[in-house]
Structure 1
Amino acid sequence: YLDGVADSACGLRGPSFDRYSDLWTLSEFWQSNAAWRACFESWRTSAGTPESTLGRIPASHRAAARAVLERRSDSVLRHLLLGTVSGPFLTDFDWAVKLVLGSDRVSSLGVPLTALELCLRDHTGPRRLGLELGSAELLALVGALEAAHKAMLQLQA
């Protein structure tokens, strides 16, 4: 059960009520899930020790909770950081250059456009974003991406 709660704290599917319906009512099940999840998250987000967190847990559950806390604490922290520190982030992209030769008003334009498809991921999951950019917009985007990359390198140093 506690590994399932740790899964839910990591953004995965948590424990199923069907497995525990003979032990708890639905409201008790949700309250238990929320309490254990808060316990895991509070231990990873506070400067406290596992003992301070485990001190609030009944003695009969401490050994199992300690094992799950120690085994899953890094993945819980990683998920918490991902959800709170960053918004959507780029996972992949694809691009193509198009040449607009004409339109209804002008017979020959010869304007290059960049078709850019971005694959983003955030706390809700992956999503795709399609853009068509002119040369000035593309230069502004490249400048912003270079500035973001530079800031990321400075944070890592």
Structure 2
Amino acid sequence: MVDIKWEAAVATLQKASPSDLEAACHIVAESICQDGTISADKFSSIWSIEEWWQVREVLTDIFKTFVGQSVSKEQISEQLGSLKDEYKKVINDAVAIHNPSLRQKLVQNTAALSKTILSDFDWKLKLALSSDKLATLQEPLLQLDFNMRDANGERKEVFIELNKTELSKLITSLEGCSKAVQQLTTS
């Protein structure tokens, strides 16, 4: 299926020579990977500032879509619609060249949506023999130690102590989370 936004940009993309489009593709891909800004000056003889914004936006969308969805070369050519074959080849080559770094950046951006992630955990089973209120308690307790890392790389440790009923609730909610993730990954 051809994206309407991409199809609308065909004439603008084809104003450049294939070698100029190749340079634009590499600059846009590198700016995505490095979170950099791109100056329109290099392409001012080819595109107006509005056209450059359109080219940059379309190329960014193309790279993110094709790399994020692991689209094959044939599918890329098909989805680029009425774009001339030499331009399709340029975009295909740029996607292939920058695929690993673009994929890594997309994964980093996705992971950064969550402010804190679990980096490691440990557990211990303890037996509480008594407390200040009961002389003989003998209740098994599970101690969970979570090592968390936030988006800035700072580490934090969280300790949780659970009895049998609290552990059952935790397991039930984690099973629900696991099912939800499985449904998202299979659909």
TMscore range, shorter length? 0.5 to 0.7
Cα distance in structure 1, aligned partners of 2:121 and 2:185: 23
Query: Unaligned stretches of 5+ in structure 2?
Result: 1-26, 39-55, 65-93
Match of 1:140 in 2: 169
Summarize the Cα distance change of 1:154–1:49 in structure 2 as closer, same or farther, 3 Å threshold: closer
Match of 1:47 among 61, 79, 88: 61
Cα distance in structure 1, aligned partners of 2:147 and 2:105: 24
Answer whether contact 1:97 1:114 (CA < 8 A) is retained. yes
User: Which of 1 and 2 has greater Rg?
Assistant: 2
Answer whether contact 1:98 1:115 (CA < 8 A) is retained. yes
Answer whether contact 1:119 1:128 (CA < 8 A) is retained. yes
Match of 2:180 in 1: 151
Summarize the Cα distance change of 1:44–1:107 in structure 2 as closer, same or farther, 3 Å threshold: farther
1:156 CA displacement: 0.9
Match of 2:145 in 1: 117
User: TM-score, normalised to structure 2's length?
Assistant: 0.47
User: TM-score, normalised to structure 1's length?
Assistant: 0.54
Amino acid in the other structure paired with 1:93: F
Amino acid in the other structure paired with 2:108: H
Aligned-pair identity (%): 28
Match of 1:130 among 156, 159, 166: 159
Give the aligned CA root-mean-square deviation in angstroms.
3.6
1:124 CA displacement: 2.9
More contact order relative to length (CA 8 Å, sep ≥ 6): 2
3-state SS of 1:150 partner: helix
- Deviation string, structure 1 residues 44-63 (Cα, Å, up to 9, x no partner): 9952469xxxxxxxxxxxxx
